[in-house]
Amino acid sequence: MSFPITLTVNGTRRSVVLEDARVTLLDLLRERLDLTGAKKGCDRGQCGACTILLDGVRVNACLALAVSHDGASITTIEGLAVGEALHPVQAAFLEHDGFQCGFCTPGQILSAVGLIQEGQTGGDPERVREGMSGNLCRCGAYAGITEAVLTAHAALTGPDVLPGRQLAEDAA
Amino acid sequence: MKAFDYIRATSVAEAVAAAARPGAAYLAAGTNLVDLMKGGISRPDTLVDVTRLPGLDRIERGTDGSTRIGALVRNAALAHDPVIAKRYPALAEALLSGASGQLRNAATTAGNVLQRTRCPYFYDTASACNKRDPGAGCAALGGVTRSHAVLGWSEHCIATHPSDFCVPLAALDASVEIAGPGGPRSVPLEAFHRLPGDTPERETVLEPGDLVVAVTLPPEAEAFAGHSRYLKVRERTSYAFAVVSAAVGLRMDGDRIGQARIALGSVALKPWRARAAEDLLAGAAPTPETFAAAAEAALADARPSGDNAYKIELARRIVVRALTLAAAGTPDRVPALPASPFAPNPSAPNPSAPSPLAGAPVHA
Ligand SMILES: Cc1cc2nc3c(=O)[nH]c(=O)nc-3n(C[C@H](O)[C@H](O)[C@H](O)COP(=O)(O)OP(=O)(O)OC[C@H]3O[C@@H](n4cnc5c(N)ncnc54)[C@H](O)[C@@H]3O)c2cc1C
Ligand code: SF4
Ligand code: FES
Ligand code: FES
């Protein structure tokens, strides 16, 4: 059996024929579409290196069968920057040294983009660490990663507005 | 991974007919099944993809005050749903303590309930396992058994059920709605998973083709909203399965406990409802002595299945701690570290009081 599927990957429609239903989204991206940004760390959902945005939410590409996601929209690390302009999360990872070897970084960045969109952490570092726990970093760059996510969060959502500050600003 | 055929079901009837055939399995998000297929532990001939079935991705409020959670509602969507978080806070806390943000975005309600054990011998196809290969024997017996069952196990299987979500579901008397070749039926969650006995390969009451379509919480379940917690001991703070967990709900009646609900996780091959402990708490004052007695009762039948007697005492302490936290009141929001015994208790009357862990040695 073969399965024709169409995905929108980083804004571009891509049609592929899967000869085999076993192909994961991660293998499809890396082996068929030449998008090797998403990494294969464990291939079992245990490390987060393969994190992509699937229809806008972060998931592990290694456990998603491509055939099940016909018609989906996917964002990988290759699709985040606009030309030379980095996405605020990418810029924050550079600014805060949120990596060392860089292997986990595409997954960390996509996970952070998803986390910020989920809107559950505010500027609380503990919630950010908990929210990013699905991304392991073997180099232990966690301190920089947390700083980067907090900075990007502030850049993308505005600083956390305290009720008192809001009142003062309204009065000014 | 073994090759398989793929069918995308467009109606419940079509799904049930396709999955009733031998060798067929349902596919939801695949976060458990695809992992097991990669390891050669599950080897289906056909996957019946249920993710496009219409109408199963909704959370519905019944006029009687019940809540029906569709089989395809994602774990993250469920945990962050305002109605769920407000009326069943232990459910939200349990969900948020499980897996990772990415996995919760994908994982479905039915997939979570039907996830398989994490027994390492089950995962290792070179080991004998009665669950994978009925009659082969159980390599876990006499092996590395730190994480295995202390309640309800048999000499044929000592594995545990790993779901966090199922623990508060059991405490809250949830039921599972099933569509099958023989028509629709509903089974209490507590009776849905089977204890191993001498047929550990039969994990639930589902028959071939049976499709879980929803999980329903009865009207009484929200009576515990004000005093509900889920507490989960892990070997690391996040992104880890429970060593032991407990879901607790109290319906207070003045300064006494009107009714209590307690279920334990990762102690047996199913979420373990502690009814004797609940009975003991009904009408009692919420004191450390009553909580200790309840914990004794909850674990009265426990016995180690190997090198895991520590789990029995750990479970007692988790019951006491969960009851203590629940008595203090449900926090307004799930703590930053959901279900963690290391999280500061936001509803503690005196936030500057030392935590119960202060002074405890860091390394046991
Ligand atoms: C690294 C990692 C860490 C994890 N940590 C935790 C944790 O801490 N706590 C926790 O509770 N869980 C944890 N999980 C497990 C996770 O919760 C499950 O993988 C997930 O809930 C399964 O849902 P799914 O939709 O992906 O199911 P699938 O993998 O698609 O299916 C799982 C099973 O359910 C069956 N099934 C699916 N839908 C139906 C249906 N409607 N009717 C009948 N059968 C059906 C499938 O045939 C399969 O047997 C973890 C998983 C991973 C990979
Ligand atoms: S404990 Fe159960 S799952 Fe684990 S090896 Fe024994 S039979 Fe298999
Ligand atoms: S490669 Fe997907 S989680 Fe590790
Ligand atoms: S930067 Fe090396 S693994 Fe994270």
Convert the pLDDT of each residue in B124-144 to its tens digit. Answer: 999 999 999 999 999 999 999
What is the least distance, in Å, from the CA of A165 to any CA of chain B? 23
Rounded distance between C-alpha atoms, residue A110 and residue A77, angstroms: 7
Q: Of residues B346 and B59, which shows the higher confidence score?
A: B59
Question: Is the CB of residue B226 less than 8 Å from the CB of residue B329?
Answer: yes
Give the pLDDT confidence score for residue B343 in this predicted structure.
81
Question: Is the CB of residue A128 less than 8 Å from the CB of residue A146?
Answer: yes
How confident is the model over B300-317, as a mean pLDDT?
Answer: 98
Q: Is residue B302 in contact with ligand 1, taking CB distance under 6 Å?
A: no
Question: Is the CB of residue B246 less than 8 Å from the CB of residue B340?
Answer: no
Give the pLDDT confidence score for residue B344 in this predicted structure.
75
Dist. CA B51 → ligand 3 center (Å): 22
Strand pairing report for B46-49 and B211-217:
unpaired
> Which residues in A lie closer than 8 A to residue B337 (C-beta atoms)?
126, 130
CATH class of B5-52: alpha beta
Mean pLDDT across chain B: 95
pLDDT greater than 70 at residue A170: no
Q: Does B103 touch chain A (CB under 8 A)?
A: yes
Q: What are A's interface residues with B at a Cβ cutoff of 8 A?
A: 1, 3, 20-22, 24, 43-45, 48, 51, 54, 57-60, 63-65, 67-68, 111, 114-115, 118, 120, 124, 126-127, 129-135
- Nearest ligand to the CA of A142 is 4
- Nearest ligand to the CA of B123 is 2
Question: Is the CB of residue B205 less than 8 Å from the CB of residue B191?
Answer: yes
Strand pairing report for B228-233 and B244-253:
antiparallel
Mean pLDDT across chain A: 93
Rg (CA), chain A: 18
Q: What residues contact residue B95 under an 8 Å CB cut-off, 6+ apart?
A: B75, B76, B78, B79, B104, B164, B165
pLDDT greater than 50 at residue B363: no
- Suggest the residue from A113, A120, A137, A146 to mutate for an interface test with chain B (most B CBs closer than 10 A): A120
Rounded distance between C-alpha atoms, residue B258 and residue B278, angstroms: 10
CB contact under 8 A, B102 and A51: yes
Lowest mean pLDDT among A123-132, A158-167, B284-293: A158-167
Query: How does DSSP classify residue B120?
Result: H
How confident is the model over B34-38, as a mean pLDDT?
Answer: 98
> Which residues in B lie closer than 8 A to residue A131 (C-beta atoms)?
101
> Which residues in A lie closer than 8 A to residue B106 (C-beta atoms)?
54, 59-60, 63-64
CB contact under 8 A, A60 and B35: no
Residue spans of the domains in chain B: they are: 5-52, 221-328
Could you tell me the CA-to-CA distances from B186 to B23, B118, B217 in Å, in that order?
25, 27, 12
What is the least distance, in Å, from the CA of B241 to any CA of chain A? 12
Give the pLDDT confidence score for residue B338 in this predicted structure.
98
Dist. CA A28 → ligand 1 center (Å): 23
What's the distance, CA A130 to chain centroid? 15
CB contact under 8 A, A60 and B47: no
What is the least distance, in Å, from the CA of B6 to any CA of chain A? 7
Q: Does B334 touch chain A (CB under 8 A)?
A: no
Q: Does B50 touch chain A (CB under 8 A)?
A: no
Furthest C-alpha separation in chain A: 68
Rounded distance between C-alpha atoms, residue A20 and residue A43, angstroms: 18
Q: Which two tokens stand for residue B155?
A: 């000499």
Q: Does B51 touch chain A (CB under 8 A)?
A: yes
Nearest-atom number in ligand 3 for the CA of A40 is: 1
CB contact under 8 A, A59 and B102: yes
Rounded distance between C-alpha atoms, residue A56 and residue A54, angstroms: 5
pTM for this entry: 0.95
Model confidence pLDDT, tens digit, residues B184-232: 999 999 999 999 999 999 999 999 999 999 999 999 999 999 999 999 9
How confident is the model over A30-36, as a mean pLDDT?
Answer: 98
Q: What are phi and psi of B52, to 5 degrees?
A: -100, 5
Question: Is the CB of residue B172 less than 8 Å from the CB of residue B261?
Answer: yes
Our CA dihedral for B21, B23, B29, B32, rounded to 10 degrees, sits at: 140
CB contact under 8 A, A68 and B49: yes
What is chain A's percent helix, strand, coil content, to nearest 5?
A: 40, 15, 40
pLDDT greater than 80 at residue B99: yes
Question: Is the CB of residue B53 less than 8 Å from the CB of residue B18?
Answer: no
> Which residues in B lie closer than 8 A to residue A58 (C-beta atoms)?
101-102, 105
Dist. CA B111 → ligand 2 center (Å): 21
pLDDT greater than 90 at residue A165: no
Model confidence pLDDT, tens digit, residues A11-26: 999 999 999 999 999 9
CB contact under 8 A, A21 and B6: yes
How confident is the model over A76-94, as a mean pLDDT?
Answer: 97
Rg (CA), chain B: 20
Nearest-atom number in ligand 3 for the CA of A48 is: 3
Domains annotated for chain A, with CATH where assigned, are 3-79 (3.10.20.30), 88-166 (1.10.150.120)
Q: Which two tokens stand for residue B49?
A: 């993809």
Could you tell me the CA-to-CA distances from B28 to A20, A26, B2, B214 in Å, in that order?
18, 18, 18, 13
Q: What residues contact residue A32 under an 8 Å CB cut-off, 6+ apart?
A: A16, A23
Could you tell me the CA-to-CA distances from B87 to A32, B55, B108, B146, B172 in Å, in that order?
46, 23, 20, 35, 11
Nearest-atom number in ligand 2 for the CA of B117 is: 3
Rounded distance between C-alpha atoms, residue B106 and residue A114, angstroms: 13
Please provide the CATH number assigned to the domain covering B221-328: 3.30.390.50
How confident is the model over B15-22, as a mean pLDDT?
Answer: 98
How confident is the model over A34-53, as a mean pLDDT?
Answer: 98
- Suggest the residue from B102, B108, B237 to mutate for an interface test with chain A (most A CBs closer than 10 A): B102
